[in-house]
Amino acid sequence: MPQTLTSAEQLTHEWLTAVLRREGCLEQGEVLAVHAARARTLLVSSVARLEVVYSADAPVAAPTRLFLKISTPDLQARFSRKEVEFYDTVARESRGLPLVRCYDATFSEESGASHVLLDDLTETHTQTQAPLPPSERDCEKAVESLALLHARWWEHERLGLGIGTLTTEAEFEETKALLQKHLVGFADFLGDRWPAERRETYERVLAGPMTPWRRMLRREGLTVSHGDAHWWNFLFPRDGVGPAVIFDWHLWHVDAPLKDLAYMIALNWYPSRRARLERGLLRRYHAKLREAGVANYGWDACWHDYRRQIIRELFVPVWQWSSGMSPANWWASLEKIWLAFEDLNCAELVDD
């Protein structure tokens, strides 16, 4: 059995018995058989639902359905490594948070491949098909779950010391140079499809203090950030009871907490939905932070940080274009984030 699985067929009942025994799920008995069902290949991974059969003396609580995720060769090794790192470090020290339980996560430095073995929540949880947004109540559950994650690691002493890394001054300067380079190419690509005043705003941002990025240089006000917190990286309980569960951790890092909220709301919604739900969701998020123990962060600071992080989100479509994504992936987001930037008068914060 290889250390890192590259296909569901490599998962044997002997290996799974050892994994579940190590994780305290199989004090006695053993796995007799594992059947892979509904296997399919996604953009950056191949996944399969696993049905597990045990010997008669196995505990009743032993998991009978598991979910195996294997990275595809197209996924860059740094992303494979990050997800495994999350489950090996952050998740293990975040008991009680709304995360999918992980039984095994392995990354191969030699090949860059990875696998994660998780609980299968298909029977109990669901999600809408993108781009259809979740219901209002499910949106509330999503921001509450993010608040719990953010509160758990808020200004934690281990940020940058075993839990992620802090951005260095050199990395900040490298990011700034890349943004400037990509902006030129992006503007040339769009040509007259892009108003001149938009490019001027981008240039003003890059010429200014870039406070939303500079926040990442110090531990104060930072936490563990999902990094890709769109609405379809949450699983919602089918019966409406319990929290939304967060998954897909290949972009997690240490960052400003409101970055996740600006990404999920401002970058993903048109003005009509934002106008109806935006402030209420942020109020709910802030209340959950306070409830979870974040006492030194008022509502005004939360709202200000949300508006300031929208400035960063202006550059997400630029990054997506520079990475070779199709306009189908970023064109609508470009319009949405600009409408949010204008609606909330974020321009007044560019030099802040």
Q: What does the pLDDT look like over 14-29, one tens digit per residue?
A: 999 999 999 999 999 9
Query: Following DSSP, what letter does each residue of 156-212 receive, concatenated?
Result: -TTBTTBBB-PPPHHHHHHHHHHHHHHHHHHHHHHGGGS-HHHHHHHHHHHHS--HH
Q: How many CA atoms lie within 13 A of 48 on its CB side?
A: 18
Query: What are residue 84's phi and psi, to 5 degrees?
Result: -65, -40
Question: Is residue 156 predicted with pLDDT exceeding 90?
Answer: yes
pTM of the predicted model as reported, rounded to 2 decimal places: 0.95
pLDDT of residue 39: 74
CA angle 205, 180, 164 (to 5 degrees): 85
For the stretch 70-128, pLDDT in tens is: 988 766 777 889 999 999 999 999 989 999 999 999 999 888 889 999 999 999 999 99
- What domains appear along the chain, each with residue ranges and CATH number? 8-119 (3.30.200.20), 128-349 (3.90.1200.10)
Residue written as token pair 């509160």:
151
Bridge partners for 293 per DSSP: none
C-alpha angle 207-213-217 in degrees, rounded to nearest 5: 120
Paired tokens of 137: 């109540």
Give the dihedral of Cα atoms 186, 187, 191, 192; nearest 10 deg: 130
Structure tokens at 35: 């059947």
